[in-house]
Amino acid sequence: MTTTVYQESSAERRDQQVGLSHVSIELGHLYAEDFNRGPGYLREHFQRVKPWIAAVSALHEARNGRKPRISTCFLIDDYFAPFGHPPTVFEALRSAADDSGVQLDYIARESGCAVADNVKAAELVLDKLTPEPPPNTTGARPPVEDSGWLANGERSGGSDQAMSYVPWTPPRENAPNRHSIFVDLELWDNPPGQGRRWSCTYLAAVWQLARLGVLRDERGDAIMQAYKVDEIPDRWADLPAVVQVNEDAKDFSAYRTFSILNSRYLPVELGTRVILNQVSIDENVLLQVVERAGRERILLEKAPVDRIEYTFVTEPAGVS
């Protein structure tokens, strides 16, 4: 039994209005093996991220001239390796946050970035991908929907095979800043018997769009909204994509996002930004959010990727 946290429908257009905080802070994204390290590790994790919450709050207060509306969230990896007993995992997270003096508002499932409340969120974003054509290309590269690979420029070329030698050419970023940083990333693979398996990088792109409140289905309804749950079920699949765990939480989606992540996620987020730079969000949705920010006297970048900020932290030596 679930109830919607927030929903506001516009009478003038089909694109649904959603509640927006000033900033959504992601407090972590941990794997099954991280949870298996026990409650002490979780407490240490929240203690490490706690100072950043105050820093982000101060940053946005200075930026906007008022105390910001902040919501916090935590992403559980139940997509690649479903684990544990959901009520136990939820309670462990909430207890560790409480013990560390950290407010935890929402807990989300990574599998919800693939299918959220019966909507194929990952497929929906794939339909919005408009890959940038590299300069001087012939179109011989298979389209992303067939290959599952996306790049931010032109791949290297050449061949050293006998009778077919072509001089090697280096890869090149589409819009380099003096020197190229070329990225070629895999959006999915197809393990035998499993069907399409989305990459962590791709699911992270869906996650960021949901937190920014700009992910819509074909009817204009928001995807990955947050829900209250009376009782945490025993199966991950019976949970909504995003669960509100703090009764007084500000809105899940926000004008901006800030993610506090382990340094191991840095290459993942680089790939995520490559994807988001090539996703075409509906113009009406973008305008709707920018106009709402303007009514709050908040200057907001039009491109969603420019509203995303991070800090990457490394665990101190000796963390159990």
Answer yes or no: are the C-beta atoms of 202 and 187 closer than 8 Å. Answer: yes
Task: Note the helical H segments in 71-214.
Answer: 86-99, 121-127, 144-147, 200-211
Rounded Cα distance between 18 and 172, Å, is 39
Q: Give CA separation, 316 vs 8, 48, 152, 263, 313, in Å.
A: 44, 10, 34, 12, 9
What is the residue extent of each domain of the chain? 2-128+190-313, 144-182
pLDDT above 90: percentage of residues in the chain: 66
Confidence of residue 9 (pLDDT cuts 50, 70, 90): very low
212: CB partners within 8 A, 6+ apart: 24, 253, 254, 255, 256, 257, 289, 304, 307, 308
Per-residue confidence band for 112, with pLDDT thresholds at 50, 70 and 90: very high
| Structure-derived torsion over alpha carbons of residues 59, 64, 70, 74, reported in degrees to the nearest 10 | -50
Does the pLDDT value for residue 190 go beyond 60? yes
Alpha carbon of 172 to those of 187, 196, 278: distances in Å? Answer: 20, 29, 17
Q: Between 145 and 203, where is the model more confident?
A: 203
pLDDT at 139 over 60: no
**What confidence category does residue 204 fall into, taking pLDDT thresholds of 50, 70 and 90?**
very high
72, 76, 241, 242 from 106: Cα distances, Å: 6, 11, 10, 7
Cα–Cα distance measured from residue 246 to residue 248, given in angstroms and rounded to the nearest whole number: 5
pTM, 2 dp: 0.89
Give the separation between CA 177 and CA 181, rounded to whole angstroms: 9
> Could you say which DSSP state residue 84 is in?
S
Catalogue the E-assigned strands of 82-240. Answer: 106-109, 149-151, 153-154, 157-159, 166-169, 172-173, 184-186, 188-189, 197-198, 226-229
pLDDT of residue 11: 39
- Who's near 88: CB < 8 A, 6+ residues apart? none
User: Looking at the DSSP assignment, which residues form a beta bridge with residue 186?
Assistant: 149
Task: Give yes or no for residue 104 having a pLDDT over 80.
Answer: yes
Kindly report, residue by residue over 167-177, the tens digit of the pLDDT.
878 888 888 88
Q: Bridge partners of 313?
A: 262
pLDDT at 165: 64
Reported confidence tier of residue 319, pLDDT bands at 50, 70, 90: low
DSSP H or E stretch at residue 60: helix 39-64
- pLDDT tens digits along 217-261: 888 889 999 999 999 999 999 999 999 999 999 999 999 999 999
Q: Which residue has the higher pLDDT, 306 or 314?
A: 306
